[in-house]
Amino acid sequence: MCEAATQGRLRAPGDPDGIPLLTERERQTLFLVGTGAGNRLIARRLGISERTVRAHLSNAVRKIGVRSRAEAAVFAFAYLDLVDIPAAAEPR
């Protein structure tokens, strides 16, 4: 599997064309999901409620065409350089 990944045969789930459709908060939330942060930590870092985090993540998942939080995390990790992350959302 490692060889396949290094040869570019594995592809991250989702559609990177959905990135421009994401709001700033959805991008921030998606980025933090990609770092492994849970909803409580994301809410604290962004100064929003956990319910709002769930709403942003749900919207982002729909826009990028993934089916789960795990796929969203893989997507965020794979396409991190394509996502503009404001300093306020950077993990500490």
Residue 87 CB partners (closer than 8 Å, separation 6+): none
State the chain's mean pLDDT as an integer.
Answer: 84
Domain assignment present for residue 52? The answer is: yes
pLDDT value of position 79: 86
Residue 57 CB partners (closer than 8 Å, separation 6+): 26, 29, 30, 33, 39, 69, 72
Domain assignment present for residue 69? The answer is: yes
Domain assignment present for residue 90? The answer is: no
Q: In this predicted model, what pLDDT tens digit does every residue of 34-79 receive, in sequence order? A: 999 999 999 999 999 999 999 999 999 999 999 999 999 999 988 8
Domain assignment present for residue 73? The answer is: yes
Average of pLDDT values for 27-37?
93
Domain assignment present for residue 5? The answer is: no
pLDDT value of position 81: 62
Domain assignment present for residue 58? The answer is: yes
Domain assignment present for residue 9? The answer is: no
Tally the domains of the chain.
1
CATH number at residue 41: 1.10.10.10
The C-alpha angle with vertex 30 and arms to 13 and 80, in degrees rounded to 5, equals 70
Residue 8's pLDDT band (cuts 50, 70, 90): low
Domain housing 43: 15-84
